[in-house]
């Protein structure tokens, strides 16, 4: 999933906290995908 042109990702901690409380499986799946992207983005920033 490409994030080009998409809004900046939220901080992974915020996403993880929301995912920990989520009970809807579809929303949880979306949150885990968003979390993965946020972590990937953070690792990319750290490598620079």
DSSP string over 6-43 = SPPPPPHHHHHHHHHH---HHHHHHHHHHHHHHHHHHH
Domain count across the chain = 1
Is 2 contained in some domain? no
- The domain of 30 spans 23-48
Instruction: Give the separation between CA 41 and CA 21, rounded to whole angstroms.
Output: 23
Q: Does residue 1 fall inside a structural domain?
A: no
pLDDT single digits (tens) 1-48: 444 545 567 899 999 999 999 999 999 999 999 999 999 998 888 777
Specify if 8 maps to a domain.
Answer: no
pLDDT at 17: 97
Is 15 within the bounds of a domain? no
Please report whether residue 41 resides in a domain: yes
What angle, rounded to 10 degrees, do the helices at 25-47 and 12-21 form? 160
Q: Specify if 17 maps to a domain.
A: no
pTM: 0.75
Residue 48 falls within a domain, yes or no? yes
């Amino acid at each position: 999933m490409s994030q080009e042109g998409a809004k900046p990702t939220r901080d992974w901690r915020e996403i993880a906290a929301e995912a920990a409380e989520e009970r809807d499986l579809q929303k949880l799946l979306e949150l885990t995908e968003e979390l993965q992207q946020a972590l990937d983005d953070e690792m990319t920033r750290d490598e620079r």
